[in-house]
Amino acid sequence: MRNLIFLVPLTALLACSGTRPVAEPPAPPATGAKDPTRSLSQMGADAVLWQNTSAEAYWIYKQAYEVAATRMMWNIVERSKAYREGEKERPLAVIVDIDETVLDNSPYQITAVKNGRTFDQNEWKGWTDKASAKASPGALEFLRMAKEATCEVFYITNRDIRERATTLKNLSDLGFPDADEAHLLLMEGTSDKTERRARVRATHDVVLLVGDQLRDFDERFKDRSMNDGKAVVDAMADSLSKYFILLPNPMYGTYRDAIQGKGSEAEKLQRMEEWFQRNGY
Ligand SMILES: [Mg+2]
């Protein structure tokens, strides 16, 4: 087998050594300048493929939702014990994020990478308008179980208010519980979900939260200045373990924003290059 591998280039060389003119190598690009959008897009290719195709991602979701069910039941029992006799119990709730938590948008991300595009609000809206995202593995089963355990489900998402109707359609077509206006808290001015979580907590006992970003649990995770944010994780490990289930999303999120920042794609690419340099790569 090994010899055969050596034979192939040798044959190719012999074929080229005849009288036929050797093909010109492809012309280099007209300028040395990089297309920053395409460059950033290509950097995400592996992440997007992993999220969309891998059995590993599929199983991590299923596994996480299995753990979510166990934690939820434990917390329900514990909360019930904490009530004193005769005290009126508040209704139970589970809070979930939507994108990459209960709905899988990797087809949108795949299309963007294929076309050399990065996130674009209009293209994103074109995707959510279709209301055709599939459920994340294990999400439906978990939320149906939560409903059976008398929890109300609240969806706290940073989708835009213009996406309200299509998001509800997508969720209800898939059979998600509580897919109605009262249980959908969209982004209103800020991506910080603290106030929206507080609104749910004002009337309900929240027994579990699920998201693909640590910020779906607490806004303090936005701070990535100390050891890329891992110091905050260590400081909050107890409440994270008890009340939060994190799902995988290598495609986008706070980790990447902390490096690339805001601004044009050229500026983001520049910050990536600075990051490589600063970290000795
Ligand atoms: Mg999300």
Which structural domains are found in the chain, ordered by start?
37-80+88-254 (3.40.50.1000)
Instruction: Please report the sign of the dihedral spanned by the C-alpha atoms of residue 207, residue 171, residue 47, residue 272.
Output: negative
- Indicate if the pLDDT at residue 27 is higher than 80: no
- Closest C-alpha among 193, 169, 168 to residue 183: 168
Mean pLDDT of 105-111: 98
Report residue 30's pLDDT band, with 50, 70 and 90 as the boundaries.
low
Residue pLDDT, tens place only, 230-278: 999 999 999 999 999 999 999 999 999 999 999 999 999 999 999 999 9
Rounded distance from Cα 157 to ligand 1 centre (Å):
7
Q: How far apart are CA 92 and CA 208, in angstroms?
A: 10
The 3-state DSSP composition of the chain as helix, strand, coil percent (nearest 5) reads 55, 10, 30
Dihedral angle over CA of 69, 73, 76, 80, nearest 10: 170
Q: How far apart are CA 185 and CA 187, in angstroms?
A: 7
Query: What is the token pair recorded at 107?
Result: 């087809």
Q: Which residues have CB under 8 Å from 2's CB, separation 6+?
A: none
Q: How far apart are CA 73 and CA 246, in angstroms?
A: 17
Rounded distance from Cα 190 to ligand 1 centre (Å):
15
Residue pLDDT, tens place only, 217-232: 999 999 999 999 999 9
Rounded distance from Cα 123 to ligand 1 centre (Å):
17
Rounded distance from Cα 262 to ligand 1 centre (Å):
19
Helices first, then strands: H and E counts in the chain = 13, 7
Helix (H, G, I), strand (E, B) or coil at 40: helix
Rounded distance from Cα 156 to ligand 1 centre (Å):
9
Look up residue 146 and give its DSSP letter. Answer: H
Rounded distance from Cα 27 to ligand 1 centre (Å):
42
Read off the pTM: 0.88
Rounded distance from Cα 103 to ligand 1 centre (Å):
9
Among 9-23, 63-77, 123-137, 207-221, the least confident range: 9-23
Specify the pLDDT at position 211: 98
Q: How far apart are CA 274 and CA 259, in angstroms?
A: 9
Rounded distance from Cα 245 to ligand 1 centre (Å):
12
Dihedral angle over CA of 5, 6, 12, 18, nearest 10: -150
Rounded distance from Cα 28 to ligand 1 centre (Å):
40
Rounded distance from Cα 172 to ligand 1 centre (Å):
18
Cβ contact 221:213 at 8 Å: yes
Rounded distance from Cα 97 to ligand 1 centre (Å):
6
